[in-house]
């Protein structure tokens, strides 16, 4: 029986996971080196250190740059937060999202807009509005959770086929033409921001007739991982991502670290640095070292009533 490259990669990745040993991962690395198409960067684990190394650093024509340490052979985990993607490259944008928890009233318009824009399969919420409560005596609040577009992304470090990678503008992309469905990235992401298509998703006629577009993340298909990618087709044109422009409260700010500017759906503009610093901005689970590109402003002086306490999680 002849196996496709995708099926072979899936089998090999499953073997490595099951074995759970550096030797097995090293075998996977050697196998991948021989089976990755020419011109496509391949990342795999170094059997002696357990860290990811670049096996073939030649970028494919037209493919967005992959963030990596200068020179082949460096671990992707060694890429400095905020560093340009390629040696000598100067990023013209470094996108950042700032979510004001004092403004979010949990309406879910952001999730709906994202679902509609990307034809997100049923059951997935690439931006998920959670109800949080930090301790017994504190008030619950709404917490929209997109992909954090981490500058030190564990999902990228573990992907054995470079299906997920970091662009120089800060966006962590997901290429489902390359994904083999091993789901290492889902296990690695501490934010629960990734989803796996266990079944063939329902397709609208418009989605089905489209050619796969990595920036739109559709048409969707069974057996691959998907996630929020900060709407690169919109932000590249200077527009807000679908979630931010749909938020009736102006709770989702989107900005550029290079130009130090942020805007929201209510037409407000601020210096990004001031928005974060003057409002006590923080990053979720910052202590993990993931260097998220999403900041949160604390839910104080709210402009809406607190969510019901009994349903808080």
The one segment of 70-78, 94-102, 172-180, 275-283 that binds ligand SF4 by CB under 6 A: 172-180
96 is a contact residue toward ligand SF4 (CB under 6 A): no
Residue 167 tokens, joined: 């662009």
194 is a contact residue toward ligand SF4 (CB under 6 A): yes
159 is a contact residue toward ligand SF4 (CB under 6 A): yes
85 is a contact residue toward ligand SF4 (CB under 6 A): no
In this structure, is the dihedral angle defined by the CA atoms of residues 83, 84, 88 and 93, taken in order, positive or negative? Answer: negative
Longest dimension (CA), the chain: 65
227 is a contact residue toward ligand SF4 (CB under 6 A): yes
Q: Residue 175: what are its φ and ψ, rounded to 5°?
A: -110, 105
Q: In the complex, what is the shortest distance from the CB of residue 161 to ligand SF4, in angstroms, rounded to a whole number?
A: 5
Q: In the complex, what is the shortest distance from the CB of residue 26 to ligand SF4, in angstroms, rounded to a whole number?
A: 17
The one segment of 62-70, 112-120, 161-169, 296-304 that binds ligand SF4 by CB under 6 A: 161-169
**Cα distances (angstroms) measured from residue 98 to each of 143, 250, 288, 296:** 12, 11, 19, 6
Please state, as a whole number, how many other Cβ atoms lie within 10 Å of the Cβ of residue 226: 22
Tally the C-alpha atoms within 13 A of residue 72's C-alpha that lie toward its C-beta.
10
Q: In the complex, what is the shortest distance from the CB of residue 180 to ligand SF4, in angstroms, rounded to a whole number?
A: 4
181 is a contact residue toward ligand SF4 (CB under 6 A): yes
* Dist CA 115 CA 286 (whole Å): 27
Q: Rule CB under 6 A: which residues touch ligand SF4? A: 147-150, 153-155, 158-159, 161, 163-164, 172, 179-185, 189, 191, 193-194, 225, 227, 290
């Amino acid at each position: 029986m002849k196996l496709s490259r995708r099926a072979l990669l899936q089998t090999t990745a499953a073997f490595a996971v099951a074995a759970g040993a550096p030797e097995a991962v090293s075998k996977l690395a050697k196998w991948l080196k021989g089976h990755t198409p020419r011109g496509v960067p391949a990342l795999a684990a170094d059997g002696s250190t357990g860290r990811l190394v670049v096996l073939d650093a030649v970028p494919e024509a037209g493919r967005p740059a992959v963030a990596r340490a200068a020179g082949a052979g460096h671990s992707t985990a060694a890429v400095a937060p905020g560093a340009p993607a390629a040696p000598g490259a100067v990023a013209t944008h470094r996108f950042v999202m700032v979510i004001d928890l004092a403004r979010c009233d949990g309406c879910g318009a952001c999730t709906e807009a994202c679902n509609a824009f990307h034809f997100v399969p049923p059951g997935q919420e690439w931006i998920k509005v959670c109800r949080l409560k930090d301790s017994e005596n504190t008030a619950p609040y709404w917490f929209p959770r997109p992909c954090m577009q981490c500058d030190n992304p564990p999902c990228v470090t573990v992907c054995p086929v470079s299906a997920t990678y970091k662009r120089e503008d800060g966006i962590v992309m997901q290429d489902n033409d390359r994904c083999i469905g091993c789901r290492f990235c889902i296990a690695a992401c501490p934010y629960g921001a990734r989803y796996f298509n266990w079944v063939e998703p329902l397709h609208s006629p418009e989605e089905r007739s489209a050619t796969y577009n990595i920036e739109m993340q559709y048409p969707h298909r069974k057996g691959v991982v998907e996630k929020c990618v900060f709407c690169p087709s919109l932000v590249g044109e200077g527009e807000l991502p679908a979630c931010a422009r749909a938020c009736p409260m102006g709770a989702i700010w989107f900005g550029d670290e290079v130009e130090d500017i942020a805007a929201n759906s209510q037409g407000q503009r601020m210096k990004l640095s001031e928005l974060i610093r003057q409002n006590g901005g923080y990053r979720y689970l910052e202590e993990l070292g993931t260097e998220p590109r999403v900041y949160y402003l604390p839910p104080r002086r709210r402009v809406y009533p607190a969510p019901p306490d009994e349903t808080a999680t």
